[in-house]
A and B are shown apart, each in its own frame.
Chain A
Amino acid sequence: MSNVCEDQVFSSIFKAHSKTVFNYIYYKFGNEEKANDAVQEAFVKLWENCAKVTPDKAKSFVYTVANNLYLNVIKAEKVRLKYADNSNDRSNESPEFLMEEQEYKQKLDDALNALPENQRTTFLLNRIDGKKYAEIAEMEGVSVKAIEKRMHLALKSLRDKIDGL
Chain B
Amino acid sequence: MQENYLAKWLSGELSEEELAAFKLSAEYKSFERLKEVSSTLEAPEFDVDQALVRAKENFGTAPKVITLNPFKPFLRIAAVLAILLVGSYFYLGTLGQTVTTDYAESTNVILPDNSEIILNAESQITYSKKNWDKERNINLEGEAFFKVAKGKKFTVATEDGTVTVLGTQFNVENRQGFFEVTCFEGLVSVTHNNTETKLPAGNSFLVINGEIISDLEKPIGDTPSWMQNESSFNRIPLQFVFAELERQFNIIVTTENVDTDLLFTGSFNNTNLEMALKSISTPSQIKFKVEDDNVLFYAGNTSK
Interface set of A (CB-CB < 8 Å, partner B)? 5-7, 11, 14-15, 18-19, 22-23, 26-27, 32, 35-36, 39-40, 43-44, 47-48, 50-51, 80-84, 86, 101, 104-105, 108, 123-124, 126-129, 132-133, 145, 147-149, 151-152, 155-156, 158-159, 162-163
- C-alpha gap A5/B59 in the complex (Å): 12
> Which of B7, B54, B66 is in CB contact (< 8 Å) with A152?
B7
Whether B6 pairs with A127 at a CB distance below 8 angstroms is no
- C-alpha gap A127/B134 in the complex (Å): 74
- C-alpha gap A80/B43 in the complex (Å): 8
- C-alpha gap A104/B32 in the complex (Å): 13
Whether B54 pairs with A40 at a CB distance below 8 angstroms is yes
Assuming the A-B contacts A14-B48, A43-B55, are A83 and B6 also in contact, with contact meaning beta carbons closer than 8 angstroms in the complex? Answer: no
The 7 closest A-B pairs by CB, nearest first: A151-B7, A152-B4, A155-B6, A148-B7, A148-B4, A5-B63, A152-B7
| Set of chain B residues within 8 Å of A126, measured between Cβ atoms | 10-11
- Shortest Cβ distance from A85 into B: residue: B40
- C-alpha gap A101/B30 in the complex (Å): 13
How far is the CB of B19 from the nearest CB of chain A, in Å? 15
Whether B48 pairs with A18 at a CB distance below 8 angstroms is yes
Q: Is B304 located at the chain interface by the 8 A CB criterion?
A: no
Whether A48 pairs with B48 at a CB distance below 8 angstroms is no
Whether B6 pairs with A44 at a CB distance below 8 angstroms is no
Q: Is B64 located at the chain interface by the 8 A CB criterion?
A: yes
Q: Is B89 located at the chain interface by the 8 A CB criterion?
A: no
> Which of A127, A145, A163 is in CB contact (< 8 Å) with B41?
A127
- C-alpha gap A134/B6 in the complex (Å): 16
Within 8 A of A (CB), among B143-183: none
| Set of chain B residues within 8 Å of A104, measured between Cβ atoms | 33, 37
Whether B64 pairs with A14 at a CB distance below 8 angstroms is no
Whether A47 pairs with B59 at a CB distance below 8 angstroms is yes
| Set of chain A residues within 8 Å of B51, measured between Cβ atoms | 14, 18, 22, 36, 39-40
- C-alpha gap A104/B40 in the complex (Å): 13
How far is the CB of A148 from the nearest CB of chain B, in Å? 4
Assuming the A-B contacts A152-B6, A152-B7, A155-B31, are A44 and B59 also in contact, with contact meaning beta carbons closer than 8 angstroms in the complex? Answer: yes
Assuming the A-B contacts A23-B46, A81-B42, A159-B30, are A44 and B55 also in contact, with contact meaning beta carbons closer than 8 angstroms in the complex? Answer: yes
- C-alpha gap A32/B40 in the complex (Å): 20
Whether B42 pairs with A84 at a CB distance below 8 angstroms is yes
Interface core residue of B34, B54, B61 (most chain A CB under 10 Å): B34
How far is the CB of A19 from the nearest CB of chain B, in Å? 5
Q: Is B38 located at the chain interface by the 8 A CB criterion?
A: yes
Whether B55 pairs with A40 at a CB distance below 8 angstroms is yes
Q: Is B44 located at the chain interface by the 8 A CB criterion?
A: yes
| Set of chain B residues within 8 Å of A80, measured between Cβ atoms | 44
How far is the CB of B28 from the nearest CB of chain A, in Å? 10
- Would you list 14 pairs from A and B whose C-beta atoms are within 8 A, ordered by A residue? A14-B52, A22-B43, A36-B51, A44-B58, A50-B64, A81-B41, A81-B42, A83-B40, A124-B43, A127-B39, A128-B42, A151-B10, A156-B6, A163-B30
| Set of chain A residues within 8 Å of B58, measured between Cβ atoms | 40, 44
- Shortest Cβ distance from A15 into B: residue: B48
| Set of chain B residues within 8 Å of A36, measured between Cβ atoms | 46, 51
- C-alpha gap A133/B12 in the complex (Å): 12
Whether A82 pairs with B4 at a CB distance below 8 angstroms is no
Q: Is B27 located at the chain interface by the 8 A CB criterion?
A: yes
| Set of chain B residues within 8 Å of A50, measured between Cβ atoms | 63-64
Q: Mark B50-91, 1 if CB is under 8 A from A, else 0.
A: 011011001101011010000000000000000000000000
| Set of chain B residues within 8 Å of A145, measured between Cβ atoms | 4
Whether A48 pairs with B55 at a CB distance below 8 angstroms is no
Q: Is B5 located at the chain interface by the 8 A CB criterion?
A: yes
Whether A108 pairs with B64 at a CB distance below 8 angstroms is no
Within 8 A of A (CB), among B236-261: none
How far is the CB of A87 from the nearest CB of chain B, in Å? 9
How far is the CB of B38 from the nearest CB of chain A, in Å? 4
Whether A108 pairs with B37 at a CB distance below 8 angstroms is yes
| Set of chain B residues within 8 Å of A152, measured between Cβ atoms | 3-7
Interface core residue of B40, B58, B66 (most chain A CB under 10 Å): B40
Whether A123 pairs with B38 at a CB distance below 8 angstroms is yes
- C-alpha gap A159/B40 in the complex (Å): 17
- C-alpha gap A13/B89 in the complex (Å): 55
